Amino acid sequence: MGQILNLGGGVILLVAASQFPEYTQQYVQRLGGAVDELRLVAADFDKSAQSVGLTRQQALDSMTGNAFQKARQRDMTGTFARLERLEGDLAVLEGAGPFDRLANVTRFSDQGIATRAWQDYRPALPLTIDGFIFAMGGFLAGFGLLRGLGLLFGRRKRPLSEVTP
C-alpha cells in the first residue's frame, strides 16, 4: 500500500511540475502586457503634468484639494509603484529559461496577473526537455516526500526474533 501511495504522490507532482515552464511563459506574456498598459497610463499622467509645467511628483503632490483628488493621488501613487515593481520583475523574467524562472519564483507575485494567467491556462503534455526535467523532478519530489513521511510515521517492522509463531 505504501508503494502505491508513494507512486501516486510522484505522479501527482510529476504532472504539476511538468506544467511549470508553460505556466510561467503565460505569466511572463501577461506581465509584459500589464507593463505596457501601465507605461501608457504613466505616460498620459506625465504628459498632463508637463502640460501645466509640473513634474510627476509635483503633480502628485498638488492632488490634495478634495477627497476625490486625494483618492486619485493614492491610486496613481500605487500605479507608479506597481509599474516599477512589474518592470523589475519583467527585466528579470523576460528571456529567462525555466530554471532561471524557478530560481526567481518570487517574481511571480502579482495576484491579478497570476489569477488571469491561471484562468486562461490549459495544461498540456510537456514535449520539451525542460518539461520532462521538471516532470521528473516533480515525480522524485512527490515520491520522496511521501516515502519520507511513510518512514517517519509508518509502522515499524519488528525483527523476526520478536515474532511469535
Express each pLDDT in 145-156 by its tens digit.
655 555 555 555
pLDDT of residue 43: 98
pLDDT, greater one: 98 or 56? 56
Query: Does 158 score more than 60 pLDDT?
Result: no
Q: Is residue 16 part of a domain?
A: no
Q: What is the extent of the structural domain holding 133?
A: 110-150
Q: Which three cell numbers stand for residue 107?
A: 517574481
CB 165 within 8 Å of CB 159: no
Rounded percentage of the chain residues whose pLDDT exceeds 70: 70
Q: Are 142 and 121 in contact (CB under 8 A)?
A: no
Average pLDDT along the chain? 83
Cα 103–chain centre separation: 11
Residue 51 within a domain: yes
CB-based burial label for 54 (10 Å; 0-12, 13-18, 19+)? middle
Instruction: Using a pLDDT cut of 90, give the percent of the chain over it.
Output: 52
Mean pLDDT along residues 63-82: 96
The C-alpha cell that represents 9 in the structure block: 504522490
Q: What are the backbone dihedrals phi and psi of residue 146, each rounded to the nearest 5 degrees, phi first?
A: -70, -35
Domain count along the chain:
2
Measured between alpha carbons, how far is 17 from 1 in angstroms, rounded to an integer?
24
- Asked, for residue 8, whether it belongs to a domain, the answer is no
Cβ contact 69:63 at 8 Å: yes
- pTM, 2 dp: 0.70
Greater confidence, 30 or 127?
A: 30
Separation of CA 131 from chain center? 17
Q: Are residues 36 and 88 in the same domain?
A: yes
Distance CA 93, CA 141 (A): 25
**Looking at the domain assignment, is residue 164 inside a domain?**
no
Note the pLDDT tens digit of each residue in 12-69. Answer: 666 677 778 888 989 999 999 999 999 999 999 999 999 999 999 999 999 998 999 9
Same domain, 58 and 82: yes
Question: What is the model's pLDDT at position 144?
Answer: 63
84 and 117 housed in the same domain: no
Same domain, 79 and 115: no
Residue 54, domain member (yes or no): yes
Q: Is the pLDDT of residue 76 over 70?
A: yes
Give yes or no for residue 106 having a pLDDT over 70: yes
